[in-house]
Amino acid sequence: MRMLLLLMLLTTSLLATAQQAKVVRLNAWYDAEGAAEIYDRIPIGLQFIFSDSSEQKTAGLLDGRYKWNRLDVSSSNGTISNGILTFNRQQLIRDHYRITFTVKGDNAPDLHAVITLPQLTGIRFNHYADSIKKDIRFYLNVEGKFSSGKILPLDTATIRFAASSGNILGQDLLIDKTDTVKTVTIEAWYKTNPEMYLRSVMPIKQLPDPDLPPLPGNTPGRRKSGRH
């Protein structure tokens, strides 16, 4: 009986200690594989560190037990819905790629955590051919170099194009077959930072492609022999 009472006292003491543990730090994470470099919607996770060195994590990205709908969490940029952050990229640039999360607690000071998303460090052309054929759309391939070390393609959502000849159709350049120019100057700007600028001079193919010889067995006018 005495041993049972001792065990009960110890258990009560441990529970009281656990209940007194308070959150002392908040850490925030984002999905590094979610292509935050080009997409404005990424999974995030929060980690709560307690005064007794224990921790709890949010559901979703971090596979934790904390449900997002039970947290009062806000963001300095964009909105959070069930662990998915949707942010504004122009604001992200103004804020030097930093986003602050705030979790409000019951009768406790607010908790803050910051993530820094990858930033664009440069852009470059990566042309698929060394010349442009008339009357065939030429894709203007621009790649971005990011602080994360990734190199990813950019599109017209972030890049503005111009050309000295032909027509820009979305992200394609089309040179009319009657055009007599021999070269075309292609320009590209990063919309949110026009100082990131590209210029490329491409030759226009003047001669038609040579006729290719027929494949063996497909000579015009000959019929394959066979037994019936």
Radius of gyration of the chain (CA): 30
pLDDT at 207: 73
pLDDT at 209: 62
Distance separating alpha carbons of residues 78 and 85, to the nearest angstrom: 7
Distance separating alpha carbons of residues 191 and 163, to the nearest angstrom: 16
pLDDT at 220: 52
For residue 59, count other CB atoms closer than 10 A to its CB.
16
Query: Each residue of 51-77: pLDDT tens digit?
Result: 999 999 999 999 999 999 999 999 999
Instruction: Please report where in the chains the tokens 């009657």 appear, as a residue.
Output: 178
pLDDT at 4: 39
pLDDT at 96: 94
Q: How confident is the model at residue 12 (pLDDT cuts 50, 70, 90)?
A: very low
> How distant, in Å, are the alpha carbons of 73, 84, 124, 185 from that of 196?
35, 30, 9, 17
Instruction: Please report where in the chains the tokens 């979610």 appear, as a residue.
Output: 34
**Token representation of residue 75:** 């963001």
Q: How confident is the model at residue 3 (pLDDT cuts 50, 70, 90)?
A: very low
163 backbone dihedrals φ, ψ, rounded to 5°: -145, 145
